[in-house]
Amino acid sequence: MTPNTPLNKCNRAIRSHAWGLLLVVATAVGWGLGWPTMKLAMHDWPPLFARGCAGLAAALGLAIIAVVRGQNLLPSRSLAPRLALGAATNVFAPMGFTALALLWLTVAQAALLTYSMPIWATLLAWPILGERPRLRSVIALCLGMVGLVLLMGANFGGGIETFPGVALALAAAILFALGAVTSRAPIPLPPMVSTAWQIGLGSAAMIVVGLTLNGSEIRPLSFAGAGGLAYQAVCSMALCYLSWFAALERVPAATASTGLLLVPVVGALSATAILGEALGFREICAFVLTLGGVALELRGRR
């Protein structure tokens, strides 16, 4: 038997950290590819209905895995308001609003606007929690704002025509940030159970709203649309959430969050390859500035 020496403990910690980083990268790539595949599904189904169906399938898959692992799926009634709020700010707003934003914006535009969330969280934490931003946060905010302005100046020349998409993507980022600021204490449930409930509730709401607004526009899925929807349910939501939980067990949350800055980059590059969307020099500069600001803020929280 190998002795439990400090050297062996150190080697196990290094291997665990390496696996954690690998899982973060896998999660980021999976979520990044989810952006263009979502747009493929939207060619056949309305945005909210398509995203809601994929999310509900993912929630059911997570619930089944939780039951197999012996976890109790039934939360106490006292947790219902927190689960509903989490479903609204963590699922319905970021998933639903970003899906709608893709009707007006490219994947690169929508992804970068949405992943500016940590910058808005810094702004909201000041009036809500009394946390004054530090110099690092101010610099991060300035970098992010310059990047967003550059992106909007580069691609939003359509003016009022693209305004709904910009507003929806920013609303998704701000509401997601509001949920993060106002819900610092985790819901006292196993992570998989909590996630299954939040994704399930938020996705069910998206399906109801989607059917109400665009029920007549639902038609049989094409091969590409079915593939995009399947990827959303199996990979982008279920498998990526599982790998995300596993990563958080092995690396610090700040490190994992910084790694997720790969998501909009992968989304933009994959959209160029899959959908043929343009990605020019100004867009790349906007990515560098905005994600640089977000990375600086996340590293400062470590």
**What mean pLDDT value characterizes the chain?**
80
pLDDT of residue 68: 92
- The model's confidence at residue 203, banded by pLDDT at 50, 70 and 90, is very high
Q: Which residue type does 183 have?
A: S
Query: How would you write the chain as a 3-class SS string?
Result: CCCCCHHHHHHHHHHHHHHHHHHHHHHHHHHHHHHHHHHHHCCCCCHHHHHHHHHHHHHHHHHHHHHHCCCCCCCCHHHHHHHHHHHHHHHHHHHHHHHHHCCCCCHHHHHHHHCCHHHHHHHHHHHHHCCCCCHHHHHHHHHHHHHHHHHHHHHCCCHHHCHHHHHHHHHHHHHHHHHHHHCCCCCCCCHHHHHHHHHHHHHHHHHHHHHHHHHHHCCCCCHHHHHHHHHHHHHHHHHHHHHHHHHHCCCCHHHHHHHCCHHHHHHHHHHHHHCCCCCCHHHHHHHHHHHHHHHHHHHHCC
Lowest-confidence segment of 102-111, 207-216, 244-253 by average pLDDT: 244-253
- In this predicted structure, the answer to whether residue 164 has a pLDDT above a threshold of 60 is yes
Q: Is the pLDDT of residue 237 over 70?
A: yes
Residue-level pLDDT at 24 = 81
Residue of higher predicted confidence among 172 and 134: 172
Which pLDDT score is estimated for 3?
56
With pLDDT > 90 as the criterion, what percentage of the chain qualifies? 10
Looking at per-residue pLDDT, the higher value among 230 and 132 belongs to 230
How does residue 1 score in pLDDT terms, banded at 50, 70 and 90? very low
Report, as an integer, the average pLDDT of 104-121: 82
Note the pLDDT of residue 301. 54
Q: What pLDDT digit, counting tens, does each position of 150-162 carry?
A: 766 655 455 567 7
Confidence tier at 191 by pLDDT (50, 70, 90) = confident
Per domain, the residue ranges of the chain are 30-300
204-230, pLDDT tens digit by residue? Answer: 999 999 899 887 777 888 888 888 888
Q: What is the CA radius of gyration of the chain?
A: 20
Q: What average pLDDT does range 134-149 have in this prediction?
A: 74
Is the pLDDT confidence value at 122 over 80? Answer: no
70 has a pLDDT exceeding 70: yes
pLDDT tier, 2 (very low <50, low <70, confident <90, very high otherwise)? low
63 confidence band (pLDDT: 50, 70, 90): very high
